Structure 1
Amino acid sequence: MKIAVLPGDGIGPEVTREAVRVLEMLGLPGLTLFDGDVGGIAYKRHGQPLPEETLTIAHACDAVLFGAVGDPECDGLERKLRPEQAILGLRKHLGLFANLRPARVFAGLEHLSPLKPEIARTLDVMIVRELTGDIYFGDKGERAASDGSREGWDMMSYCETEVQRIARVAFRTARSRDCRVCSVDKANVLETSQVWRDTVKAAAGSHPDIELSHMYVDNAAMQIISNPAQFGVILTGNLFGDILSDLASAAVGSIGLLPSASMGDRATEFGRFGLYEPIHGSAPDIAGQGKANPMATILSAAMMLRHSFGREADAVRIETAVERALADGIRGGDLGGDHGTEEIGAAVRERL
C-alpha cells in the first residue's frame, strides 16, 4: 500500500501529520509513505509548484494524501508558478476527472449550520463533480469589444465521452448510498447542458437500479438549502459543482469537517487511484500555531481507504472515531471549541 503524502503549505503539514498518525495506528499491512513537495514550498525549494520528482512519486503510488496549497508570499508570481497550479497539474497529469465531496451535518452540531436544526440534520449528500472539463479548461482570452472596451471570454463545452464517464462514477457511487442521482445542469439556456442532460439520460439506461432525476442549477441551489433530504448523489459539471459543493459545505457549518476525493479510471492492485484532501485551504493566518482542525484530513484518509484500498471496515472505524470525538466535545476553533490540532488528532486515535 503505497501512499504519496503531499502536505503543501500553511496548515497542510499540520493536518496531514495527524491523518498519517491515524493511518499508522491502524497497522495497515505493507503501508509505505512517500513524501513530496507541492505548492508554495515546492516553488521555494524547486522553482516549480509541481516538481517532476513529486509527479514521479505520485505516479508510483496507489493514492495521494494531499494537504493544502497557497502562500501569500507567492501571490505576485506569474500564474503558472503560483501554488494553486499544483493541484490543477496533479488532476491533469493523474487523470483525475471525478471529484467526490460528501456533505453531512454531524449529530450534535446542527446549531452550527446556518440552516434550521430540523433541516440541517437531514443534509447528507454526495456531490459528484466533473473535474477536468467545462469552462475552467476551455479556451479563454481577452479582446476588444465593439465599443473598444475590454471584453473577456471563456468557452464552455462538454463532449459525450466526458459526460458518460462522470455519469458512471455517479451511478456507481449511488449504489453505496440510496441509489438516487440528481443530475444538475442549465439545459433550458445552455447547449452544453443540453448535451449533458441527453447523455446522462442515455447512460442511465445501463443502470436501471438507479433513480435518476434532473434539476436546473438555480433551483438546485435553493433546494439544497430548503430541502436537502431529497438529495442522495448530485451529479454535475465543473462550474456548477464548484459552486454547489461550497454551498453544501457552508450548510454543514464548518469546512474543517469536510473531506474530498478526486478520482479517475486508473485501477490499482487494491481499487482505484485517487487524490484525497480536505476542502479547506492553507489558512496561512493560523499556520504553525496548532489551531487547525485536522478532522477533514483524517476523514479524507478514511475515503482513501474505502475507495483506493477497498478497506471499508477501516474507513468506518476512522469515521466512527471522529464522530465519537465530536460527540464527546472535542472541537477546534472552527466549531467554537479550543482544542488544538494535535489534541484533536490524539482524541481521534484514542477512539480507534
Structure 2
Amino acid sequence: MSNAAPADNHQHRIVAVPGDGVGPEVYASACTVLDVLSSRFGFGIDIDEQLIGGAAIDATGNPLPDETVAACRDAKAVLLGAVGGPKWDAQPRELRPERGLLRIRSELGLYCNLRPIVTHPTLHRFSPVRPERLDGVNVMIVRELTGGIYFGEKRREGDVAEDVCRYTADEITRVTRQAGRLAMQRDRRIVQVDKSNVIETSRLWREVTERVIGEEFPEVSLEHLYVDAAAMHLLSKPASFDVMLTENLFGDILSDEASMLCGSMGLLPSASLADGDFGLYEPVHGSAPDIAGQGIANPYAMLLSIAMMLRLSLHETEAADALDSAITDCWSDGVLTLDLVPEGVGTEAVTEAVCRRLTGAAAASRTA
C-alpha cells in the first residue's frame, strides 16, 4: 500500500507484517483508517508489506525472512497483525511461527513493551470485575521484552527440561529508564513486580530499579510487589496502579490478566520500543484462527495500536488524538463487536464507523 502525500507534505515509511489468522483482516482495517487520517492531517504513509510467522513459513520456510528484517531496519515503525495457528503446530521449535515474533524483537532491539490498560464506562459491563472497581483505571504495563526465560538457554534430556532465566543490570537499567520517563508524564508512581523472595534475577531487578529511579527520577515513587500479590491487586484494586514495571514472563501473564479489566483482549493495543523513536505496534489478541476469514474480528485493538504508532514513532499527535476520540465515541454509541455482544458488528462495520467519525469531525471543524 502506498498513500502518496502532496509534495509539500511529509511522508512516513512503515513496514507491515499482517501475519496469520485474523492478522490480515485487522491490518486491512488499519490501512483504511490510515488513509483517512493521512488525508485529514496532511501526511503520507508508504507501507512496505513483508512476511512473518506462519505466512512466512509457507512462502519461504522461515518464520522471519532476512528480507523482512532488512525492510524493518529501514522504516520508522512496524505494524504487525498476528502470528501463529494450529496449522504450524507440528513444526520444530525453531521453525514455529512464534519464533519469528521472538526473533524480530531481538533483531530490532525491541526491549520495552508498553500495554496501556484504560477502562471505559461503556465497557465496564463486559469485564468479570465489578464495575465499581473499574472507575479510573489507567495502568501502563512496562514489560522487558528481550531477556529473561523466553530468551535464555533451553535444554531437554528425556524427562528433564531446563529453561534459564537470565538478566543483566544493563537490560534492567534501560527498561527502567523507559518506565521512569513514562511515570514522569503520568502520576509519577511505579510498581516494580518480581518474586525476589525466591528468584535471584528478581533480587537484581530490585537493586537496579532502586538505583536508577533513585538517581535519575527522584520525583518518582517506587514500590516493589511480589507477582502473586500484583495479580490479586490487579483484580481487587486496579485503579491503584499507575506504571507497572516487570520482567518478560511476569509481564506476559499480568498484561493478559489486565486485559480482562477492559472486557476483551480485542480492545488492547501494544507497542514494543527500541531506543529512539522506532517501535513495533500490534494488537495483543493473537491470531484467533477459529474466527479467521469470517469478517468478525475485533479491529479496535489494532486501531488503538495505530494511535500509539502515530504518537510514539511518527509524532502525529493530533492524528493520534483524533483516532482515540473516534474509537471511544464508537464505544459510547454502542458500536460493539461480537466478542462483546451477541448482536455485535463485524470488522468492516467498525472500520466504517471509525472513519465516519473521523471524516465527520473534519467536516465539523471546517464549518465551525
TM-score, normalised via structure 2 length: 0.90
Shift in CA distance, 143/44, structure 1 to aligned 2, threshold 3 Å: closer
Letter of the 1:36 counterpart? Q
* Structure 2 gap ranges (5+): 1-11, 359-368
Counterparts of 1:310 and 1:142, CA distance in 2: 46
Counterpart residue type for residue 354 of structure 2: V
Q: Alignment partner for residue 5 of structure 1, among 16, 38, 43?
A: 16
Give the residue type in structure 2 aligned to 1:260: S
Over the aligned positions, Cα root-mean-square deviation in angstroms equals 1.2
Distance 2:350 2:184 in 1: 33
- 8 Å CA contact 2:134, 2:239 repeated in 1: no
Identity of aligned residues (%): 48
Q: Distance in 2 between matches of 1:295 and 1:45?
A: 29
Which of 97, 101, 104 does residue 115 from structure 2 map onto?
101
The normalised TM-score by structure 1 is 0.94
Q: 1:185 maps to what in 2?
A: 194
Distance in 2 separating the partners of 1:153 and 1:281: 27
The alpha carbon displacement at 1:94 in A equals: 0.4
Residue 185 (structure 2) aligns with: 176
* CA shift for structure 1 position 290: 0.5
Distance 1:177 1:257 in 2: 22
Instruction: Answer yes or no: is 1:23 the counterpart of 2:34.
Output: yes
**Alignment correspondent of 2:97:** 83
Superimposed CA distance per residue, residues 57-101 of structure 1 (whole angstroms, 9 cap, x where no aligned partner):
111101001000113221111112211111111101100011000
Deviation of 1:140 (Å): 2.1
Structure 2 partner of 1:346: 352
Query: Which stretch has the larger CA shift, 124-133 or 40-49?
Result: 40-49
Q: Deviations over 1:1-23 (max 9, x none)?
A: 11101101111111011112111
Does residue 217 of structure 1 match 2:227?
yes
Structure 1: distance between partners of 2:355 and 2:19: 23
Give the distance between the partners of 1:168 and 1:256, measured in 2 at CA.
29
Written as runs of structure 1 = structure 2, the 5 A alignment for 1:30-45 is 30-45=44-59
* Shift of residue 311, structure 1, vs aligned partner: 2.0
Q: Which residue of 1 aligns with 2:339?
A: 334
Q: Which residue of the partner structure matches residue 295 of structure 1? A: 300
Distance across 1 between alignment mates of 2:349 and 2:207? 50
SS at the partner of 2:328?
helix
Aligned counterparts of 1:158 and 1:41: Cα–Cα separation in 2: 32
| Native 8 Å contact 2:23 2:82 kept in 1 | yes
Q: Secondary structure at the match of 1:30?
A: strand
| Runs of 4+ more than 4 Å apart | none
- Deviations along 1:118-171, whole A, 9 cap, x unmatched? 002332211000011111111121246xxxxx2222222211111100100101
Q: Counterparts of 1:257-336 in structure 2 under 5 Å? A: 257-265=267-275, 267=276, 272-336=277-341
**Residue ranges of structure 1 left out of the alignment (5+ in a row):** 145-149
One-letter amino acid of the counterpart of residue 161, structure 1: D
Per-residue CA deviations over 1:212-258 (Å, capped at 9, x if unaligned) read 11111111111111011110010000111111111101222101100
Q: Which residue of 2 aligns with 1:52?
A: 66
Paired residues in the alignment total 342
Deviation at 1:338, TM superposition (A): 2.1
Q: Helix, strand or coil for the counterpart of 1:161? A: helix
Structure 1 SS opposite 2:64: coil
- Indicate the residue corresponding to 2:252 in structure 1: 242
Report the residue type matching 2:313 in the other structure. Answer: S
Q: Which residue of 2 aligns with 1:61?
A: 75
* Contact preservation (8 Å) 2:172, 2:205: yes
Question: Residue 234 of structure 2 aligns to a residue in which SS?
Answer: helix
Whole-angstrom distance in 2 between the partners of 1:121 and 1:343: 28
Secondary structure of 2:149's partner?
Answer: coil
CA distance in 1, matches of 2:226, 2:142: 16
Q: CA separation in 2, counterparts of 1:52 and 1:192?
A: 33
Which structure carries more helix by proportion?
Answer: 2
Residue number in structure 2 paired with 1:147: none
